[in-house]
Structure 1
């Protein structure tokens, strides 16, 4: 009998969707595509390692994305409603 954390389950659901939507694109194995930006016109696509899903801050961003979009993402991939500069600064520490 294992213990399942809600954040891990949520991250798995996002990962499954991201993998399905990014399979036909140029996303290397072990990575996923995300769209980052605060509005539709400024969103940019980033390819990030799957290991980012282990980061608490990234999980918070996923929770925020779920609150805003549910599991429907208008860009066709995982959309993170976050300032692009903030996202870049956060991910710089995870490498």
Structure 2
């Protein structure tokens, strides 16, 4: 699945992750924080998930899932 990661529109980068990450509690926390910001109606809806966080946090979380 495609995810867009960054703290604002200018810094967002696209990554492709396994769908199985959706079942991981750490990844779900990132999604919950983004949902608080965007809800389910956000600017990139239809093209991928948007995760509002710094890239380093995203890398930390995904490295713990692998």
Q: Could you give the per-residue CA deviations for residues 27-80 of structure 1, whole angstroms, max 9, x where no partner exists?
A: xxxxx1010000110000010011111111111111111110011121342100
Q: What runs of 5+ residues in structure 2 fail to find an aligned partner?
A: none
Match of 1:62 among 28, 31, 46: 31
Question: Residues 1-95 of structure 1 correspond to what in structure 2 (within 5 A)?
Answer: 32-76=1-45, 77-95=48-66
Q: Aligned equivalents of 2:29 and 2:60: distance in 1?
A: 15
Q: Aligned equivalents of 1:33 and 1:73: distance in 2?
A: 15
Secondary structure, aligned partner of 2:15 = strand
RMSD: 1.1
TM-score relative to the length of structure 1 = 0.63
Q: What runs of 5+ residues in structure 1 fail to find an aligned partner?
A: 1-31
Structure scoring higher RCO (CA < 8 A, sep ≥ 6) equals 2
